[in-house]
């Protein structure tokens, strides 16, 4: 690849990243059902320009989803790494997820519950469960080094944890007034940390 081609590829990648950020801004302004006209207006360009950089709206969705997944994964790792105990690492991970739902609900719906891809093949979707479960793998090893010997079980554990938190978060997103973020974080932390025995006394904070 010559210098001109390298510069052109870098320009296209930078432009694509700019359009992804414009799409994110449009989602947050207009909601998860935002249309391409609204996204193009937000970017100050035309739909034709978008389609020079993305094959279709599903391709744009995947790019937005990958950006969101990276942002969340980085935030998750950063917050968990600063916690003084394993239980607080669990709580921080849950709270980071719920904070994303609370602060950017329409972006979450656009990516995770996106109506654009309802008729698309499953491989079109961004694998959030897999991305977050990979972080949970790291958490399980940090909590119990012996778990590394159970490496075959760490991935199903991680997916089970992520699936439970996602299901609870989806419910909370539709019922935000029934529980505060802090209450749901503590309740889920107790459930995950203590197993079913944590349901009866979610306010306890065992060490």
Note the pLDDT tens digit of each residue in 79-134. 888 888 888 988 998 999 999 999 999 998 888 876 555 555 445 555 666 666 66
* 74, containing H or E segment: helix 57-81
Mean pLDDT of 142-154: 56
**pLDDT given for residue 16 in this prediction:** 94
CA atoms within 13 A on the CB side of 139: 33
- Categorize the per-residue pLDDT at 59 as very low, low, confident or very high, splitting at 50, 70 and 90: confident
Most confident of 73-77, 187-191, 197-201: 187-191
For the chain, residues classed under CATH 1.10.10 are 1-54
Among residues of the chain, what percentage have pLDDT more than 70? Answer: 72
**pLDDT given for residue 182 in this prediction:** 96
Higher model confidence: residue 136 or residue 145? 136
Instruction: Kindly report the number of other CB atoms within 10 A of residue 20's CB atom.
Output: 20
**pLDDT given for residue 207 in this prediction:** 40
Q: Alpha-carbon distance 55 to 73, whole Å?
A: 26
The first and second tokens of residue 176, run together, are 């935000």
Residue 54 pLDDT > 60: yes
**pLDDT given for residue 112 in this prediction:** 81
- Three-state DSSP state, 145: helix
- Categorize the per-residue pLDDT at 153 as very low, low, confident or very high, splitting at 50, 70 and 90: low
8-state DSSP, 183: H
Alpha helices by DSSP H, listed for the chain, are 3-30, 36-43, 47-53, 57-81, 86-103, 105-112, 128-143, 151-174, 181-194
Q: Alpha-carbon distance 32 to 139, whole Å?
A: 32
Helix axes 128-143, 151-174, angle to 10 degrees: 120
Under CATH, to which class is 1-54 assigned?
A: mainly alpha
Tell me the torsion sign for CA atoms 23, 28, 32, 35: negative
For the chain, residues classed under CATH 1.10.357.10 are 58-198
The first and second tokens of residue 5, run together, are 């081609």
CATH for the 58-198 domain, from 3.40.228.10, 1.10.10.10, 1.10.357.10, 2.60.40.10: 1.10.357.10
**pLDDT given for residue 99 in this prediction:** 94
Least confident of 34-38, 60-64, 158-162: 158-162
**CA 25 → CA 79, 105, 195, distances in Å?**
25, 13, 40
* Nearest in space to 108 (alpha carbons), one of 117, 99, 100, 116: 100
* Nearest in space to 23 (alpha carbons), one of 116, 96, 97: 116
Go through the chain and tell me how many residues it has.
Answer: 207
Q: Alpha-carbon distance 6 to 201, whole Å?
A: 59
Among residues of the chain, what percentage have pLDDT more than 90? Answer: 36
pTM of the full predicted structure?
A: 0.77
The first and second tokens of residue 31, run together, are 């909601």
């Amino acid at each position: 690849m010559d210098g001109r081609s390298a510069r052109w590829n870098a320009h296209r990648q930078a432009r694509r990243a700019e359009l992804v950020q414009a799409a994110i801004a449009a989602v947050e302004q207009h909601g998860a059902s935002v249309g391409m006209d609204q996204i193009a207006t937000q970017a100050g360009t035309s739909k034709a320009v978008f389609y020079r950089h993305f094959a279709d709206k599903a391709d744009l969705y995947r790019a937005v989803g990958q950006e969101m997944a990276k942002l969340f994964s980085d935030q998750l790792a950063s917050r968990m790494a600063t916690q003084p105990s394993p239980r607080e690492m669990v709580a921080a991970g849950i709270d980071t997820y719920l904070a994303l739902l609370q602060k950017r609900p329409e972006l979450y719906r656009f990516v995770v519950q996106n109506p654009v891809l309802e008729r698309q093949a499953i491989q079109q979707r961004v694998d959030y469960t897999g991305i977050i479960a990979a972080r949970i793998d790291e958490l399980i090893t940090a909590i119990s080094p012996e778990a590394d010997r159970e490496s075959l079980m760490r991935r199903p554990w991680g997916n089970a944890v992520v699936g439970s938190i996602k299901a609870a978060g989806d419910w909370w997103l539709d019922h935000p007034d029934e529980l505060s973020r802090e209450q749901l974080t503590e309740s889920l932390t107790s459930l995950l940390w203590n197993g079913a025995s944590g349901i009866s006394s979610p306010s306890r904070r065992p060490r």
